[in-house]
């Protein structure tokens, strides 16, 4: 399953803010309603920068979001409270 489809399976409406996930070769925006849009980066409250393989690992449970952050494989810019909401949703 691709990354966008994995994201769409999560209850992203609980975040309530615009989140940009910046991968190596594409951007994914989660809007305030929890909808996922590829290629958009309009005014995010928080931006996550990581590789697509690391994101997939986090979404499938093979990687810990905390471990990715601690090891510097994910960078977070913006509202940390929103980033923590996303982390809690991803597990």
As a whole number of Å, the CA-based R_g of the chain is 12
Q: Residue 39's pLDDT is what? A: 85
Q: What is the CATH number of the domain that holds 8?
A: 3.30.1050.10
| Predicted pLDDT of residue 40 | 74
Number of domains in the chain: 1
**74: containing domain:** 3-90
What local confidence, expressed as pLDDT, does residue 1 receive?
79
Q: What is the pLDDT of residue 44?
A: 95
Residue 61 CA to residue 65 CA, distance in Å, equals: 9
User: Cα 41 vs. chain centroid, distance in angstroms?
Assistant: 13
Question: pLDDT per position in the chain (91 positions), as tens?
Answer: 799 999 999 999 999 999 999 999 999 999 999 999 998 778 999 999 999 999 999 999 999 999 999 999 999 999 999 999 999 998 7
């Amino acid at each position: 399953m691709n990354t966008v489809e994995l994201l769409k399976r999560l209850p992203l409406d609980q975040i309530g803010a615009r989140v940009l996930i910046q991968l190596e070769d594409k951007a994914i925006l989660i809007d305030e309603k929890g909808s996922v849009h590829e290629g958009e980066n309009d005014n995010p409250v928080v931006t996550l920068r990581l590789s697509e393989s690391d994101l997939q690992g986090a979404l499938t449970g093979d990687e810990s979001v905390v471990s990715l952050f601690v090891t510097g494989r994910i960078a977070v810019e913006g509202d940390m409270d929103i980033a923590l909401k996303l982390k809690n949703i991803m597990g």
